A and B are shown apart, each in its own frame.
Chain A
Amino acid sequence: MGVATMISLVPELKRALFGWFYPYRYNLERWAYALQRISGIAVAGYFLAHVVETGNLVGGLGVWSVPPADFSRDAWTATFRFLDNPLFDAGLIVIGFMLAYHAANGIRLTLTEFGFLQGRPTRPDFPYVPKSFTKAQRALFWLSLLFAVGAAVYALNVFFGV
């Protein structure tokens, strides 16, 4: 695929992405889906940063053999001092919310992927209300959200000691 073709795709990709943030006539399942995608991207971004951050534990990108322990200690302490501020702590609270939601809602998605909690197949009748998002699944979705709020409150307490 040429670069020109790639660039010509940008408007399409943009429209597809922004659809998640433009909740026009969403039902509950669509909310669960959008939040799963957004939280997944957020946690993936955190993971990338976390691998880079913990790389400083041994001294950073340039270190490919075992350095003196003091060198590593200084590199890690400097990294920790840099990251230990209210802005990053607030970010971690958001990541905690996202991670907890993604983990709990992921269990619901795994269950449905393997055929659980789907309900019995029935004839589609007017007004065609979707029946696949069963009561049990709704309950799990709300529990996921509750779990995420709990994780955020826990993180708030850890980082800001409320």
Chain B
Amino acid sequence: MEDLMRKILDGIEAKYAEVRYIKVLGEEVVVKNGVVEGVSSSEEGGIAVRIINEGVGFAATNRMDKVEDAVRVAEKLSRKGDGNVPFSQEKTYEDSWSVEEKKRIENMALEEKIKYLLDIDRALKAPMKIQTLHDKIVEKIYMNSEGTLIRARIPRVEYFYMMGVMVDGNFEQSYRQYGITGGYEIFDMYDLKGILLEEEEALTKVARAKKSPEGVFDLVIGPEVAGIIAHESCGHPSEADRILGREAAQAGESFTEPDMVGERIGSEIVNVVDDPTIEHSFGYYRYDEEGIPARRRYLYKEGRINEFLHNRESAGKMGVHSNAAARSSSWNREPIARMSTTFFEPGDYSFEELVEDVKMGIYMKSFTEWNIDDIRYNQKYVGREAYLIENGEIKEPVKRPVLEITTPGFYSRVDAIGKDLEFYAGTCGKGDPMQGVDVWMGGPHIRLRNMKMR
């Protein structure tokens, strides 16, 4: 394949060109209410070229008989622009990297996967449940006309569930995703049956609970809530292509402007990072999809906007270097600026210390409905498992507390940050055609003062 890719690259007349080959071997099992509804397998792969001349041309094909045609069209399309394509200048690299699977995906029998899901299903009393177990091994070769050549082998496993309980006509639902870069050691890292049994119990309690009271409360959020907030209102608005307007008609833009680096967004104790190098993280990578070595990025540092997420195109437009945020979800997608693992850095409070001086508060441990506007400014999080806090003690569960708040409104009310740290997996959507990429998001418990809750 490398020889073919080299030949393709050598045959392209361009200011810049790159060739990407990606092959994905995957398997998926779906269990719904105790029935194995589907088993599917995939072996997907293809070649994509991105070519820069007066414009940018891109072509992707899985048809070996059409590669030459696709490349020539991409070359032609690259000449249709207006001549202004800034692209950051970067060092070149040649490397191969892979991620170890402690329990290899190929050694996990399909029967074992099915048994695992059915075992969880049988343990639950919830009348509505869907589980999906998906694994994949991604093999990539990337080369560009500047001399970079990166080979990678990336195994990933993810588990997803949806569950609904009904108590006296009251319905509560939950869905979550667990994923790692690695193999079936995921079953050792997470006691999924135990997690779902706990979740079922929590939902059952919430289904019997009263609606969360309206008013002004101190709020303690759990790591799952911290994670989605870090992802939605720090990670996304820090994507440089959004800031520059390139995603404007789809996922939207950002409240952040290119010249806002250094501006205050929250209290001094807030640090939010995006880090593709965390071992086992679902969005782990060592080189991004443009062959740039991965590193940790401080997006909000000490409460100020600090750094954006760049691919080479956005970096070129802003006159900086790429910080290795280019990701493409598949062989037939262009690399765009994306998150990997986005999280609040921990502080030094224990959970007990966070709660002990809260007179009247709400503990929003996890979330259900959420959304945010397309500049990542106005957001809503509805608690899934939540409790009242009274005089420093966690009290009875409450149903669906609602936090509707602006981005600076949230970050400026952060008062204390826990020393714990948990991550949750997600599939982040962006791009057109849609590119769902594997990410982690997380944080510690976090306390906020005087929050208007509904």
Q: Real complex partners, A and B? A: no
